[in-house]
Amino acid sequence: MKVRFSPRDRMTTGVNALRGFAVAALATFAVGLAVAQQAPSTPGPAPARALSGDLPVPPPPAITGTAWILVDAVSGNVLAGENYDTPLEPASITKVMTSYVIAAEIAGGKVKETDQVMMSENAWRQGGAGTDGSYSGFEVNKTAPLEQMEKGMVVQSGNDAAIALAEHVAGSTDAFAQLMNMYAKRIGMKDSHFVNPHGLPAEGHVSTARDLAMLGRALIHDFPKAYSYNKIKEFTVGPITQPNRNLLLWRDSTVDGIKTGHTSGAGYCLMASAKRGDQRLISVVMGSTSEAQRASDSLALLNWGFRFYETHKLYDAGKQVAQQKVWKGQVNEVQLGVAEPMLVTIPRGKYDQLKPTMDVPKSLVAPIRKGQAIGTVKVLLDGKVVAQRPLVALNAVEQAGFFKRLWHELLMWWYAD
């Protein structure tokens, strides 16, 4: 139910008190919305902005590929795409999932970056130099620090390193694949199934462009250090130095990832991400015809997204958005805000058309914990929700004493609809 800021009109002292609170709450909420809709600090001429806002976003560039998608990394909103829910071979983009699992297991204390990882004979035979795929070059039956082995997997796309890491983390590639699928489910990847940690063709090993973009968002947000390996341009193992296969790292300084992939069945694939100012976009192109084509198409998508969409911060984390009446508490109000910064990506020129709304319970009763979810703040554009976040309590409200609780119980009954 929408927040209601005024009680019934009754000629009593209690009514007047609540009416005073309603005025204060309404003023606070209005200030919060005004901040959310404040014009940019350096707006262009009014007529030009009005014209820009009235123009539709032109169609995205033509993409050569089986499936592709462009998403906003903050909200996950799909800005453009085609066949992005079709399950396809993800090739070596699979290794992004492997990186996520490793980072999550490190965060959970299961393994450490300093662990010595063995390049087993199995890893060497299945993914080493004697195979058709990419390899890192770590010596067989010798160890290397986990962090170095992971960079060999990420930068060089080493299949041997992916296998060795999987064996170290889970004991076998089969057991590691089970971890991959469990984490994928937790992330929200609904149409993906992983069979191995490297992405070489295997029956039932599939993902979608949308799921892979979701995975990229998760890695960037949850494990920024692990993500940072993706921008390393080259990596050396022994006497062998290999470049990162993501050509965009050399073409655009704002691109900092993510991963390439190629097999005969999957074609040429690229998951790319770039950040310009507060705005980050993620593109996924699958089934392209060449290494050059996947790179040029991905950069064209990113440029189109940055040109015609913009990101705005509406609310800062931990800052008051509104305040709400609390019954039976030691204090009579609770401050509401968002736990994480609330940003929105919208077509350029539409900023002034955003309409924020709040939904909170009709009555709030103490006790209330700090950080407790109270309701939701939503931002609409053209009648559609373009961003939403939980509203949380910024301060705790302890339960009041017996007599105040009794008095508020009577008032709640009196003003009940």
Is residue 120 part of the annotated active site? The answer reads: no
As a three-state string, the secondary structure of 293-314 is HHHHHHHHHHHHHHHHEEEEEE
Please choose, from the candidates 244, 225, 258, 261, the residue with its C-alpha nearest in 3D space to the C-alpha of residue 152. 244
- Is 350 known to sit in a ligand binding site? no
Q: Catalytic residue, from 92, 207, 283, 296: name it.
A: 92
Element containing residue 143 per DSSP (H, E): strand 143-145
Helices (H) and strands (E) in the chain, counts: 12, 16
What is the phi/psi pair of residue 373, to 5°? -70, 125
C-alpha distance from residue 29 to each of 130, 241, 323, 368 (Å): 66, 58, 7, 20
Is residue 264 part of the annotated active site? The answer reads: no
C-alpha distance from residue 365 to each of 162, 272, 324, 357, 403 (Å): 53, 47, 11, 22, 15
Is residue 283 part of the annotated active site? The answer reads: no
Return d(Cα 334, Cα 395) in angstroms, integer.
6
Q: Say which amino acid occupies 345.
A: T
Helices (H), 285-399: 291-308
Q: Report residue 2 as tokens.
A: 């929408």
Please choose, from the candidates 59, 39, 52, 58, the residue with its C-alpha nearest in 3D space to the C-alpha of residue 349. 52
Tell me the β-bridge partners of 213.
none
Q: Catalytic residue, from 75, 95, 151, 207: name it.
A: 95
Return d(Cα 309, Cα 147) in angstroms, integer.
37
Q: Catalytic residue, from 157, 273, 283, 296: name it.
A: 157
Tell me the β-bridge partners of 309.
347
Residue found by looking up tokens 């920024």 in the block = 224
Q: Report residue 133 as tokens.
A: 């795929």
Tell me the binding residues for substrate: 259
Which residues form the catalytic set? 92, 95, 157
Tell me the binding residues: 259
